[in-house]
Chains A and B, each alone.
Chain A
Amino acid sequence: MSFAALATPEITCKGVGKQYRGKQVLEGIDFAIPKGEIVSILGPSGCGKSTLLKMIAGLTSVNSGEISVDGMTPVNAREIMSFIFQDATLLPWRTVEKNVVLGLELERASRLRQRQKAEEVLALVGLSAVAKSYPRELSGGMKMRVSIARALATKPRILLMDEPFAALDEITRDRMNEELMRLQKTHSWTVVFVTHSVAEAVFLSSKVVVLAASPGRILDIVSIGLGETRNSDTRDTLSFEEEVTRVSKLLRGAQRV
């Protein structure tokens, strides 16, 4: 973590809590995410990790504490954020190309810019060939790529990803992780990545926020010491194994509580 990154956290949560139907879902969530880093939120199901992400996106209200994104409230910061959902959430009546430019269209960008941007982001995720196809003609992995392309089309600085690869097979998932890693390096996005996969969290993140369930609270924030450049070989290294074991143990502890 560089000094500059320390000085400018992009996203901060201060004492964030959430009640839902009289039940405490999240409690005392405190963390800061530095600019240009990937931070994962990891935890057992029902720990409120998706809720936390939706709070950062301003899609769910915060009951106590405060979240700020680039010094703004989440709702005001939406323009610099993109949300990527667990399912691809494509509009089935639109072609791939038309799905990708949805955000631009809603922001009333010109047709020309929409077309150019669609070409650009589809090339980025390697899907230029299926621009005119409909979602139902695509595989699960391809749909997810379209979803990512759509998120990138509005030029976000922050990506909020809610278990985006959970529905994919392991090989596709690993490859998507590597691609995300590569794209993040070139564009230096800030990424908040929710997952229940320890290996995925360790592979992608500079830090992993481990949550415990009922009520959802931070168990530990683990810095992952795998260096800046990671690729498919990283998974075969001993230090990767060690990090996975370390986080897994923490998580098992979380489930026992």
Chain B
Amino acid sequence: MKRHVITGLNALAVFAALILVWQAIVSIFHLPQFVLPSPSEVASVIVSRFLPLIHSLLITAIAAGGGLAMSIVVGVAIALAFAQSPWLRRMFYPYTILLQTVPIIAIAPLILMWVGAGTWSVTLVAFIICLAPIIANTTQGLISVEENLVHLFLMHNASAAQLLFKLRLPHAVPNLFVGIRISAGISVIGAITGELFAGSSRVGEGGLGYSILYASSQLQTDYLFALVIAATVLGFSFFFLVTFLEWQFLHTWHESKRILEAL
């Protein structure tokens, strides 16, 4: 416990030092606000434009969260199908890797064209970027069950459904969470990328990505910083939420009980 407090204090000290260096650079070089705003200016714009900032954050959070949730449902379904048939796996697995390697920034304009601007296309971009890690990790968990455990189930004449839902799926839950943790981080990146292209169907109103574009076009660099901080906070919150859920699900039986301590 004491060790954790000290680690926390150290991290806080680094943060304070960075802020001080930042403030010093701005003061010494007399940088104009549109090039590099000082920490105090960023802080004050966070306060003065708190409501629109939170509004943008929530829009992005909903799209990122929605995309993530969709990717979990669809990804697990695809992984279950893969686990049932090696044939299906060999046929389609290469395409999930393709899904991961294709640059999302190149797809986003296409999706905007097909789906139209707004939350739906942003959610879809987040969904696409989240899907591959979910499929890959869950499939791995489903098929890496020890042969002896399968034999144990066969000795009790277990049905295919019993094998899947009482053995393979619970076995894959830790892997699924690894996938979700990866996807949670990139879901925010996906949503913001989507918003850069399709962030709003109404002028002046949109998620963090849209607001970042708007603020940079207006040279509102202080607000731009505030938006970047908001995006980081959002990514972190997603990560912590997933880590918490993972702990809730796994701490009774899995060695990853130590996840929280490892942070």
Interface residues of chain A, those whose CB is within 8 Å of chain B, are 54, 57, 59, 78-79, 81-83, 85-87, 89, 91-94, 102-103, 105-107, 134-136, 154
- Taking a contact as CB atoms under 8 Å apart, the answer to whether B151 and A54 are in contact is yes
Residues of A within 8 A of B52 (CB): none
- Taking a contact as CB atoms under 8 Å apart, the answer to whether B153 and A89 are in contact is no
B86 CB to nearest chain A CB (Å) = 19
Residues of A within 8 A of B155 (CB): 57, 59, 78, 81-83, 103
Closest to B152 in A: A89
Apart from A78-B157, A106-B156, 4 more pairs, CB < 8 Å: A59-B151, A78-B156, A102-B166, A106-B166
Chain B interface main SS type: helix
Complex alpha-carbon distance, A127 and B172, angstroms: 29
Query: A89 with B255: in contact, given A57-B155, A106-B166, A107-B156 (CB under 8 Å)?
Result: no
Q: Which of B154, B156, B158, B255 has the most CB of A within 10 A?
A: B156
- Taking a contact as CB atoms under 8 Å apart, the answer to whether B255 and A136 are in contact is yes
B28 CB to nearest chain A CB (Å) = 57
Closest to B149 in A: A89
Complex alpha-carbon distance, A59 and B170, angstroms: 23
A-B CB contact pairs (8 Å), 7 listed? A54-B151, A57-B151, A59-B154, A83-B155, A85-B152, A89-B152, A105-B166
- Taking a contact as CB atoms under 8 Å apart, the answer to whether B152 and A83 are in contact is yes
- Taking a contact as CB atoms under 8 Å apart, the answer to whether B157 and A106 are in contact is yes
Residues of B within 8 A of A107 (CB): 156-157
- Taking a contact as CB atoms under 8 Å apart, the answer to whether A154 and B156 are in contact is yes
- Taking a contact as CB atoms under 8 Å apart, the answer to whether A102 and B146 are in contact is no
Closest to B150 in A: A59
Within 8 A of A (CB), among B54-92: none
Report if B7 contacts A (CB, 8 A): no
A145 CB to nearest chain B CB (Å) = 16
Within 8 A of A (CB), among B170-185: 170-171, 173
Residues of B within 8 A of A154 (CB): 156
Complex alpha-carbon distance, A91 and B173, angstroms: 13
Residues of A within 8 A of B253 (CB): 92-94, 134-136
- Taking a contact as CB atoms under 8 Å apart, the answer to whether B173 and A93 are in contact is yes
- Taking a contact as CB atoms under 8 Å apart, the answer to whether A83 and B151 are in contact is yes
Count B-side interface residues using an 8 Å CB cutoff. 21
Q: Which of A81, A83, A106, A134 has the most CB of B within 10 A?
A: A106
Complex alpha-carbon distance, A97 and B173, angstroms: 21
B141 CB to nearest chain A CB (Å) = 12
Complex alpha-carbon distance, A92 and B173, angstroms: 12
B144 CB to nearest chain A CB (Å) = 14
Return the contact of B149 from the options A79, A86, A91, A106 (Cβ within 8 A).
A91
A-B CB proximity, top 9 nearest: A106-B156, A134-B253, A103-B156, A85-B148, A93-B253, A83-B155, A89-B148, A106-B158, A93-B170
Residues of A within 8 A of B167 (CB): 91
Report if B3 contacts A (CB, 8 A): no
- Taking a contact as CB atoms under 8 Å apart, the answer to whether B146 and A89 are in contact is yes
- Taking a contact as CB atoms under 8 Å apart, the answer to whether A102 and B156 are in contact is yes
Report if B2 contacts A (CB, 8 A): no
A173 CB to nearest chain B CB (Å) = 20
B172 CB to nearest chain A CB (Å) = 11
Report if B162 contacts A (CB, 8 A): yes
Complex alpha-carbon distance, A102 and B170, angstroms: 14
Residues of B within 8 A of A105 (CB): 166
Closest to B255 in A: A136
Complex alpha-carbon distance, A107 and B155, angstroms: 11
Complex alpha-carbon distance, A83 and B157, angstroms: 12
Residues of A within 8 A of B173 (CB): 93
Residues of B within 8 A of A106 (CB): 153, 156-158, 162, 166
Residues of A within 8 A of B48 (CB): none
Residues of B within 8 A of A82 (CB): 155
Within 8 A of A (CB), among B129-169: 146, 148-149, 151-158, 162, 166-167
Complex alpha-carbon distance, A64 and B169, angstroms: 37
Closest to B170 in A: A93
Complex alpha-carbon distance, A89 and B150, angstroms: 10
Complex alpha-carbon distance, A105 and B146, angstroms: 20
Residues of A within 8 A of B149 (CB): 89, 91
Residues of A within 8 A of B154 (CB): 59, 78
Residues of B within 8 A of A135 (CB): 253
Report if B101 contacts A (CB, 8 A): no
B5 CB to nearest chain A CB (Å) = 29
Residues of B within 8 A of A93 (CB): 170-171, 173, 253-254
Complex alpha-carbon distance, A57 and B152, angstroms: 10
Complex alpha-carbon distance, A196 and B94, angstroms: 44
